[in-house]
Homo-oligomer: A and B are copies of this chain.
Amino acid sequence: MDDTEAQCGLRERKKRATRRALHDAALQLALERGLEHLTVEEISAAADVSVRTFFNYFSSKEQAILGDNIFAVDEEQVAALMSDAADVLDGLYGVAMALAAATAPRREQVLMRWQLMERYPALLPQVFARLEEFEKVLASAVAARTGTAPDDAYPQLMAAVAGTGMRTAVRRWTAGHGDHPLEHHMNEVFGLLRDGLAPYGPRGPSGPREASKAG
């Protein structure tokens, strides 16, 4: 049960192999036959395990298709990137680039998964649930970086906006079938954020000007 076993043990290897087999089968079959007419039974059969075993690994076929680690940046990495950055937005930009870099090695797989998501709204829930978790991590990091409380408006909004920005970039990357690298879309998005979302400026005097609190 220690970390040594986690790497070399036969038991652990078999578990990982099974999990991977289920994930691969699910992804493959979903692409081939479509999500609606795909059953857990078929996935299990393709991976050579019982249906019951499938549910020992994944709680639904959607989970099996998406697998883990959609937002493959862990808490410590985020914290490190945030504290090294020149300002908050740069820190979040760093996280975005780390995400893009982590995605690169399995580019085709990730692209497939996101294209499936666009096609089958049933998958969106899972994605958003993870994005939610991811945003919590970002919010904590932003709060730590700025000395604000994690339940202040600023870190929450900043994290939500950054998460949404990354989601937008990935979506545009997917829509373009990955023609441009993900980094390109991240740059585009964070460039706009850096410019205050205001390339189309005010026509005249306007709305709420002050953040009701800032520090």
Residues of A within 8 A of B (CB): 85-90, 93, 121, 124-125, 128-129, 132, 145-146, 148, 151, 153-154, 156-158, 160-161, 163-165, 167-168, 171-172, 175, 184-185, 187-215
User: Given that A124-B132, A154-B200, A197-B158 are contacting pairs, would A191 and B212 also be in contact in the complex, using a CB cutoff of 8 Å?
Assistant: yes
Shortest Cβ distance from A94 into B: residue: B207
Task: Evaluate contact between B129 and A151: CB separation under 8 angstroms.
Answer: no
Shortest Cβ distance from A213 into B: residue: B199
Q: Within 8 Å CB of A202, what residues of B?
A: 86-87, 90
Task: Evaluate contact between B153 and A157: CB separation under 8 angstroms.
Answer: no
Provide the bound-state CA to CA distance between A215 and B198, in Å.
8
Pull 11 A–B residue pairs with CB atoms less than 8 Å apart, ordered by A.
A85-B206, A86-B202, A87-B201, A87-B206, A89-B207, A153-B172, A187-B212, A190-B207, A191-B212, A194-B212, A196-B210
Provide the bound-state CA to CA distance between A179 and B157, in Å.
19
Chain B: minimal CB distance from A101 (Å): 16
Chain B: minimal CB distance from A115 (Å): 16
Task: Evaluate contact between B196 and A208: CB separation under 8 angstroms.
Answer: no
Task: Evaluate contact between B89 and A198: CB separation under 8 angstroms.
Answer: yes
Task: Evaluate contact between B197 and A214: CB separation under 8 angstroms.
Answer: no
Task: Evaluate contact between B164 and A160: CB separation under 8 angstroms.
Answer: yes
Chain B: minimal CB distance from A144 (Å): 12
Provide the bound-state CA to CA distance between A167 and B160, in Å.
9
